[in-house]
């Protein structure tokens, strides 16, 4: 799909919207992974859950290829299998709701523990309460995840509807910036956002740029994982949301052009390694694959 479609899209990018320096430089950034060199030093110590304690001077390979966080799919068992297949792919947990972490402190290993061999691994959390997001990040910090990601892309009714988070958060970039700041202040890992290109009728390229600009300017966030479809919050299922809204890769490549100081990972519609390679050759900093990584 991508190999035949990306190059024509580069010639039809949306007009430049933002091309100005961003404020609030981060203290921790995914740049240390994207700028990885072959030389590195090893550092480890034991923790109660047998995870690896790394120094910022000892990064893994850059997250050029990652497996998306998927509820009921990317559990410990699947991630163990995925790590056997690939030594360097970045793995993501299933989304863990911030309130679950906060209210299950007597059983955190059930939700947060993982074998040390699963590094590099990112924790995805969901929520819309700043206090609970802060507490969840602080509690997860001792598990030594390599990154913490905030879910701003899930269109599920339980999440974006009743839960008032997931993709619905894209409608409030100011809150997302505050949430990312709160998470970053309470953890030692880089932070990132996973989002769509829009929500319902809020699907213009300028609105997407406004979201990215406000989040990046108001927080230490420098990495955005962008599913190149908008989310439809009413009337269709999460499965339909992965198929019915059209893919607009031109929005993704527009972000690469307009925000050169940020890192963008492309998600959505990628089904094979040739398409991953094609996207990276066209400038994507990374590519995230979802169910194709499980089914194939």
Domains within the chain, CATH numbers bracketed: 2-8+59-295 (3.20.20.70)
| Neighbouring C-alpha atoms within 13 Å toward the C-beta of 290 | 20
Cα–Cα distances (Å) from 114 to 47, 101, 106, 111, in that order, read 12, 15, 17, 9
Q: Cα–Cα distance between 27 and 191 in angstroms, integer?
A: 11
Of the residues 152, 154, 187, 195, only one is catalytic, namely: 154
Please report the pLDDT score of residue 162 as a whole number.
Answer: 55
Q: Coil, strand, or helix at residue 178?
A: helix
Which pLDDT tens digit goes with each residue over 109-118? 999 999 999 9
273's CB contacts (< 8 A; 6+ apart) are none
Average pLDDT of adjacent 10-residue blocks, the chain of 296 residues: 49 64 56 47 38 49 91 89 92 96 95 96 97 98 97 79 80 98 98 97 97 98 97 87 93 97 96 94 95 67
pLDDT, tens only, 142-176: 999 999 999 999 987 666 545 678 999 999 999 99
pTM to 2 decimal places? 0.84
Whole-number pLDDT of residue 34 = 58
Binding site feature residues: 69-71, 124, 194, 227, 267-269, 290-291
Beta bridge partners of 194: 151, 225
The pLDDT value given to residue 62? 86
Question: pLDDT at position 290, please?
Answer: 82
Distance linking the first and last C-alpha atoms of the chain: 16
Q: At what angle do helices 173-185 and 205-218 cross, to 10 degrees?
A: 30
**pLDDT reported for residue 49:** 46
Angle at 152 between CA 246 and CA 174, to 5 degrees: 115
* Spatial separation of the C-alpha atoms in residues 109 and 11, rounded to whole Å: 49
**195 annotated active-site:** no
Q: Cα separation of 54 and 42, whole Å? A: 8
Q: Cα(103)–Cα(129) distance, rounded to whole angstroms?
A: 13
| Confidence at residue 33, expressed as pLDDT on a 0 to 100 scale | 56
Q: Kindly state the DSSP code that residue 93 receives in the 8-state scheme.
A: P
Q: Which two tokens stand for residue 25?
A: 């430089």
Cα→Cα distances 71→87, 109, 117, Å: 23, 18, 21
114 phi-psi bin (left φ>0, alpha ψ -120 to 50, beta other):
beta
| Binding positions for FMN | 69-71, 124, 194, 227, 267-269, 290-291
């Amino acid at each position: 799909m991508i190999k035949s479609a990306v190059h024509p899209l580069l010639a039809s990018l949306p007009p430049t919207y933002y091309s100005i320096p961003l404020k609030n430089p981060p203290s921790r950034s995914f740049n240390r992974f994207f700028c990885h060199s072959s030389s590195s030093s090893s550092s480890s110590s034991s923790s109660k859950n047998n995870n690896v304690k790394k120094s910022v001077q000892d990064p893994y390979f850059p997250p050029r290829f990652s497996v998306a966080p998927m509820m009921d799919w990317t559990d410990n068992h699947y991630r163990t299998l995925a790590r056997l297949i690939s030594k360097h792919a970045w793995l993501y947990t299933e989304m863990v709701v911030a309130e679950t972490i906060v209210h299950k402190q007597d059983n955190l290993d059930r939700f947060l523990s993982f074998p040390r061999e699963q590094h590099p691994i990112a924790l995805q959390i969901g929520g819309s309460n700043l206090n609970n997001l802060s507490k969840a990040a602080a509690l997860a910090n001792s598990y030594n995840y390599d990154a913490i990601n905030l879910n701003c892309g899930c269109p599920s009714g339980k999440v974006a509807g009743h839960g008032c988070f997931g993709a619905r958060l894209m409608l409030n970039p100011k809150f997302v910036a505050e949430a990312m700041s709160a998470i970053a202040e309470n953890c030692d890992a880089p932070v990132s956002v996973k989002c769509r290109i829009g929500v319902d009728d809020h699907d213009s390229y300028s609105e997407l740029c406004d979201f990215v600009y406000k989040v990046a300017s108001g927080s230490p966030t420098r990495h955005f994982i962008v599913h190149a479809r908008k989310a439809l919050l009413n009337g269709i299922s999460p499965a339909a949301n992965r198929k019915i809204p059209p893919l607009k890769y031109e929005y993704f490549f527009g972000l690469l052009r307009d925000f050169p100081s940020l890192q963008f990972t492309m998600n959505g519609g990628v089904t094979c390694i040739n398409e991953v390679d094609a996207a990276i050759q066209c400038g994507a900093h990374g590519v995230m694959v979802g169910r194709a990584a499980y089914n194939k």
